[in-house]
Every structure is written in structure tokens, then in C-alpha cells.
Homo-oligomer: A and B are copies of this chain.
Amino acid sequence: MSAQTLPSPEHFFQLTNAYQGTAALKAAVELEIFTAVAEGNRTAQAIAERCGASERGVRILCDYLVVTGLLTKDAAGYGLTQDSAVFLDRRSPAYMGGSLEFLLAPSLTSNFEDLAGVVRRGGTLSEGGGTVSVENPLWVKFARAMAPMAAPIAGALPPLVGAKPEGKFKVLDIAAGHGLYGLAFARHNPEAEVVALDWPGVLEVAKENAERMGAAERYLTIEGDAFTAEYGEGYDVILLTNFLHHFDPQTCEQLLRKVRAALAPEGAALTLEFVPNEDRVTPPVSAAFSLMMLAGTNGGDAYTYPELERMFRNAGFSSSEAHQLPASPQQAIVSRK
């Protein structure tokens, strides 16, 4: 019903300057602007005082955050949106500000410096295969920074595979990172044993988290590369969280055959992914994730569900099933041996 509108360069300007939105969010998190507003500081002057910044700078930054939808503004001053109250107030249990340490790590953002070159080549220009290069220290940063983002999702995973709440249960957590997804099974079942696989530096972070959760004695580790390490066998669940998107379908299938061989007869692989619809352009966060994989890997992608289902089928899995996760743009796929 909307009328035909005249051409306008507005959208072009907005996308040209979009990088300023990233910078504004980063600055606001660094200065604790959202926390200051949550504490009741509503004017530029009060926020500036609380954050040790200039009033002019805070006024302009906060107005910009209103434009981008992370703050509100009315006669009484600035306020938080529902999302910024939950995710950007440092005192909130779901605080995500720390994830910027990973999400905006120079080794990730620099992949976009010559995106035309990336598109010409069809893959990352960064050496050693980009983000999946051997013992890339980026993943230690990931393990430290992304744990708060995983915490609310992790608890939803054990029920998805019907994990029993007691009795012997073996979980393999491939590219475990912070380890929280595997540890959700240790919490769900006090007898469950979790084997975490990752680079040694990353496993230190996972082991700290296991210790903190009182599960250290049920937490084993395998140092190394998921493609070459020995997994052992008889696992009830093998986790593949945010891992397949780094590789091309053939490489994924090769890995999935190895995963399937390590599962117990009734076992399941549990995959966590950004899964765009088959049009590849919705929903926005999952569809846009593909560009990150283009810029940062040799052959990775945000795979659609039919593509993932096919990989598992080709690797010998009998069935797959997708689940939307609450409070997350990601999906979980349960694939039965």
C-alpha cells in the first residue's frame, strides 16, 4: 500500500557510513554508557560525569545511539531499549558487551579491508586459511569473550537430544572454545563425562569453566585439530557448535563421517549454526553471516538447512532435525547416527 517514493541517496549514505555504527557501539560499551543509563543517569551531563567523558561527546554519541535504536530519548532524557537493558547493561546476567573483544578483533575486521579482492578471489586473503589457521590465538579470545553469549543457549541443548539426566553419558565437544555447550550436559547429568577438543590455549579457558562449574573431574581434553585428532568412540552426543561454517561442504562431510564413527549406535550429532532460509537473504543475521565466512575462510559459508541435511545424509547419518533456539539467531540441528 506504500506509495511509489522518489529516488533518494539516503540509503546509500547510511550504508556508506555504517562503519560508524560499529564504532559508536564499541565506544558506548567501552565507556559503559548503557550501564550509566541503567543506573539512572539520563542527561548527557550526568552520563558524562559517570563515564569520565565530555558532555558534548556523550550528547552526540547518545543521540547517535538513539538513531540506531539502542537508546531511547524523551523529555526526561536518554533511556534503554528492552534489548540494551538485557544485553548491554554490565550488571545484567546476559551482558554481551565483552563479546566485542572477539567480534571486533582486528584479525576478524581486517578481513574486510579489501573485500573486492576477497570477492575476486572467492575466499579470504589472510594467510594460512584465515580464522581456521592452526592455533590461531583468535580462538582463545573467542573462548574468553563469547562465553556470556553462549550461556543462555547452552541450557537448551541437552533436552534437544533427549539427554538423560542421570547415568553414564559421554559427550564430545569439538572445537569446544569456552566449553559451555559441553558443560551444559555435565550440569544436566551429574554422571555425564565431557571430552573437549580444541587447541591447547583454548582448552585452558574451557578447563577453567569446568572447574568453576565443579565438573573438572568429569572433564577430559584432547589437544589438536578436529580433522586429525583421535576422538575415541561410543559418544552419546558429539557437539559441532559454530564449526561447520568454516569449511566447504566436502570438508564438512569428511569430518561428519569421522564424527558418525565415534558415536554410540543411538548417539546424535548436535550442530549449532547460523542457518539462512533457502533464499539465502533471510533472516538478516544468518544470511549476512555468509559474508563473514567469505572474508575469513577459504571455503566456509552459512549453510541452508537442506545443505546441512545433505552433508549429514552423505556422511551416513540416518536423519536430521532443525530446532530454532530461543533468544538466539541460531538454529540447532540434531542428526541421528
Q: Which A positions have Cβ atoms within 8 angstroms of B?
A: 5-27, 30-31, 52-58, 60-61, 63-64, 66-70, 73, 82-83, 85-88, 94, 96, 99-100, 103-104, 109, 112-113, 115-116, 118-123, 149, 279-282, 284-285, 287-288, 290-295, 301, 326-329
Contact = CB atoms under 8 A, between A and B. Distances in A.
8 contacts: A10-B329, A12-B88, A15-B24, A17-B288, A18-B18, A23-B295, A55-B122, A60-B294
Nearest to A301: B60
Contact of A9 (B23, B73, B328): B328
Contact of A22 (B19, B121, B279): B19
Given A20-B112, A103-B17, A287-B67, A281 B11 contact: no
Q: How many copies of the shown chain assemble into the complex? A: 2
Contact of A94 (B7, B23, B54, B87): B7
B11 A22 contact: no
Contacts of A122: 53-57
A46 to B, nearest CB: 15
Most chain B CB within a 10 A radius of its CB, from A83, A103, A329:
A83
A56 B55 CA distance: 47
Contacts of A112: 19-20, 23
Contacts of A67: 281-282, 284, 287-288
A6 B13 CA distance: 31
Nearest to A279: B73
A60 B19 contact: no
